Amino acid sequence: MAEGAHMFVSSGCMTVGIMCDWRVEMERWLRNEMHRILVVGLVMALMVGKCLTVFGAEMSDSELYAKGACLMDGDSGRVLYGKGADVPMAMASTTKIMTCILALEEGDLGKVVTASDKAAAAPKVHLGVRQGQTFLFGDLLYALMLESYNDAAVMVAEGVSGSVEAFAERMNEKAMEIGCKDTHFVTPNGLDGTDAGGEHHTTAADLALIMRYCVALSPKKEEFLQVTQTQSYSFWDCENQVYYNCNNHNAFLSMMDGALSGKTGFTSKAGYCYVGALKRDGKLLIVSLLACGWPNNKGYKWSDTRKLMTYGLENYEYQEIYQEGLLDRRVSVEEGQYGGRLGACDCSCGLVYEEGNEVSGRTRMLLKADEKVEVVTDLPDQLEAPVKKGTQVGSVSYLLNGAKILEYPVYAENNVEKIDLEWCLQRVFRLYCNR
């Protein structure tokens, strides 16, 4: 019994010892886990802080590689973010989006185009056409946009306008129509060039406007998207002697959901350039990048594009800025007569927006949560007769950060005639004749 009891006690001591060791190890493990959790938490906090710097309410220019950058709301044309967005720079082959949209709008896709000596002399990257070689005009657009071939651009320009110089004039006219403020085209392919108007250049803001036009406003926008979204395209020359295969090099198309279109560019002067469009969650966003690194930094443009697109998606939402009741009043008309009523205090005119103008449907804008739109009315307190129905008498403006973003004219709703001698005599006659 004593031996048994001794063994029991010893066994019990061993159990206690084991339990004590287990608690010590558990405490040590917990301390280590807590330390690990704290470290991971600190790292995550730092990462979140960095992300907020890039994608938060404010974006720092230092986060981008590009010297010129623009993020644009494709619906309104408003610049949501800019870095050197108005600085003129070379834009390399991003030029070709203008070449393509003009070709679609003004060219004949079924036309046979003959390669000139100028086209045959175009430097790489090129199809390598021979002078006198013939192609279908429509095939050249795929060579232009998918492979960015310089000789294809020359042939397209000559096919539309007869010469590179005449086509460049048309490019500059179109840029002005679109609203570009500091863009000058000399070449249809983006190769460096200078003429009497200056050097071949654009700004990030202007380049975004051109892409906006291509994907959203042009009557040939669907055709533009069809060409630029094609992954691979093959064709023969018209003599069926040479077979060509073109592959799309726009990596952005598979980089982000909703990617619509884009065009790369590079020259030693321009550096790497890019312009692209994305549509997601009902938002149309345009990104343009100029001077976004030089060799060996091809990937910079993709990094900047993703940052800017993500910034737009995460920080801007559509808000309705239309205000009801702005025109729910009448304006008195001095010396006016309407329906037999006399005088400024009695005679008035209603105010309306242009007939058929659905104002409320056109005042939805991408805004940050803390952005507020100010509505300013420029409406008269009094009008002077005569007032003709449909005459503009004022306006309603929408301001963001002091800048006018929308303006709607206000018109007279009805005619108000002026009191004159003839009217007074008629009035007197009626009064006395009715006795």
Q: 110 CB contacts (<8 Å, ≥6 apart)?
A: 136, 137, 138
Q: 136 CB contacts (<8 Å, ≥6 apart)?
A: 109, 110, 111, 112, 113, 235, 238
Residue 265's beta-bridge partner residues? 273
Confidence (pLDDT) at 6: 41
Q: Which helix (H) or strand (E) holds 410?
A: strand 403-412
Q: Read off the pLDDT of residues 187-229 as tens digits, 9 standing for 90 and up.
A: 999 999 999 999 999 999 999 999 999 999 999 999 999 999 9
Segments of the chain assigned to CATH 2.60.410: 330-422
Residue 387 amino acid letter:
V
Q: Read off the pLDDT of residues 242-284 as tens digits, 9 standing for 90 and up.
A: 999 999 999 999 999 999 999 999 999 999 999 999 999 999 9
Least confident of 33-37, 106-110, 226-230, 273-277: 33-37
> What is the domain class of 63-315 according to CATH?
alpha beta
Quickly tell me which residue has 């003009």 as its tokens. 102
Segments of the chain assigned to CATH 3.40.710.10: 63-315
The residue ranking higher by pLDDT, 423 or 316, is 316
Catalytically active residues are 93, 96, 148
In order, the DSSP letters of 51-102 are: HHHHHSSS--GGG---SEEEEEETTT--EEEEESTTS-B--GGGGHHHHHHH
Q: Read off the pLDDT of residues 322-368 as tens digits, 9 standing for 90 and up.
A: 777 777 878 888 877 765 554 444 577 788 876 555 554 557 889 99
Report the distance separating Cα 387 and Cα 412, nearest Å.
7
> What is the domain class of 330-422 according to CATH?
mainly beta
Q: What is the pTM of this model?
A: 0.77
Bond preceding residue 125 cis, omega within 30 of 0: yes
Residue 120, pLDDT above cutoff 90: yes
Report the distance separating Cα 105 and Cα 107, nearest Å.
6
User: Is residue 86 within 8 Å of 72, Cβ to Cβ?
Assistant: no
Confidence (pLDDT) at 353: 78
CA atoms 126, 132, 138, 139: torsion sign: negative
What phi, psi does 282 have (nearest 5°)?
80, 0
Buried b (16+ CB within 10 A) or exposed e, 372-406: ebeeeeeeeeebebbbeeeeebbebebebeeeebb
Confidence (pLDDT) at 68: 98
